[in-house]
Homo-oligomer: A and B are copies of this chain.
Amino acid sequence: MFRKVWTMVKRVTIRDVAREAGVSIALVSFVMNRDHRRADGSVAYRVSDETVARITEIAERLNYHPNSAASSLRSGRTRTIGVVVSDIANRFFSDIVRYIENVAYSAGYTVLCASTDEQADKLESMLSVLTNKGVDGLIIATCSGGADAVSRVVDSGLPVVLLDRDIAGLDVSRVMLDNVRAGAMGVGKLYANGYRRIELVSYDMGISSIGEREEGYRRAMREVGLQRFARIHRTTYGNVGDSVTRIVSDAVGRGVEAMIFPTNTLSLYALQAVNALGLKIPNDMAMICFDDNEVFDLYNPTIARIGQSVEMLGVRSFELLREKIECADTPSSTYIVEPQFIDGLSSAPRLTDKKHTTK
């Protein structure tokens, strides 16, 4: 009869490898973190090639895996970043997170996700959870009222990249859309196709990206001499559905010719409203949406929209973060992605005689 065997196998540590190889644990540590090769002639650690080979072979044979808690404790880094967005189930953000994940993993980082639901107190609590976990840096899409919480994190010295939404006056890197141009682009395309009464549906939240898109809209309307038609409607986050339907219905009733929906979510609610009201697009109302969603190409008619490269947003935000993490005094930089207009029938050239039939 054997004594009961301990189910959890004793973890193999750096010490076991060192003993087996007949060297010090320090040497094993150096071999495992390949940074001992004099990268640039600096006073790096030196190990003979044969020792490296021997130790790696033994580590492999013993199935050694470094304990990252111990490593983090001693070194102060976790090789983990936090990504805070408003909702990871929102396609715009899940796409970005996916790209971040890709590049982060291949750079040896893992990513902790957190969603704020656009609530500042959740943002604050997420930031505190993630910083307490000891992330090496954060990519943050802030929310309305989140400036203070983010500032505190930045002040603490943790590398931060602001994604999609800006907070003024912070010494951080940023990756965002040229929102003003994006807003103006919507007006430009519609104007060129003969629409004049162009209105915009927005939120009442204080989010830089939305605000700038509004600004772009206003500016563009002024530039083409349509400021008398410029009108921005506001919905409250959390009750967008009904709100958008009412707004669209009213606007159409008042003779609006085209509407811009400057957000992923707003756009989807807009389509819902269009269906509910039985509107014919673009005859009853033209529309330009934002971001990307499979529905835009499947809908009849296809939906014109202003997109942004989520790949660039994701990849660049990680790269900027990584620079800050791995090289302490990297200056902050800003990466602006340009909006891309993707055409669709929802903003097709206006048939000017359309309403005459009913008049």
Report A's interface with B, CB cutoff 8 A. Answer: 7-9, 65-70, 72-73, 78, 80, 87-89, 91, 94-95, 97-98, 101-102, 105, 110-115, 126, 128-134, 156-157, 268, 271-272, 275, 293-295, 297-300
Contacts and interface: CB of A to CB of B under 8 A. Distances in A.
A70 B157 CA distance: 21
A105 B112 CA distance: 11
A104 to B, nearest CB: 10
Contacts of A7: 157
A105 B88 contact: no
B297 A300 contact: no
B133 A110 contact: yes
B297 A299 contact: no
A218 to B, nearest CB: 29
A98 B115 contact: yes
Contacts of A275: 297-298, 300
A101 B84 CA distance: 12
A113 B132 contact: no
A65 to B, nearest CB: 5
Contacts of A102: 115
Contacts of A101: 88, 113-115
For the complex of A and B, 9 pairs with smallest distance between CB atoms: A69-B72, A94-B94, A89-B98, A69-B73, A295-B295, A89-B94, A271-B298, A89-B95, A65-B132
A91 B11 CA distance: 38
B298 A133 contact: no
Nearest to A7: B157
A105 B97 contact: no
A133 B94 CA distance: 23
Contacts of A293: 294-295
Contacts of A271: 298
Contacts of A91: 89, 91, 94
Given A110-B130, A129-B110, A98 B88 contact: yes
Nearest to A83: B113
15 contacts: A8-B157, A9-B157, A65-B132, A69-B78, A87-B98, A88-B94, A91-B94, A110-B130, A111-B113, A268-B294, A268-B298, A272-B297, A275-B300, A299-B299, A300-B300
Contacts of A65: 128, 131-132
A27 B154 CA distance: 32
Nearest to A111: B113
A89 B97 CA distance: 8
B110 A112 contact: yes
Nearest to A112: B110
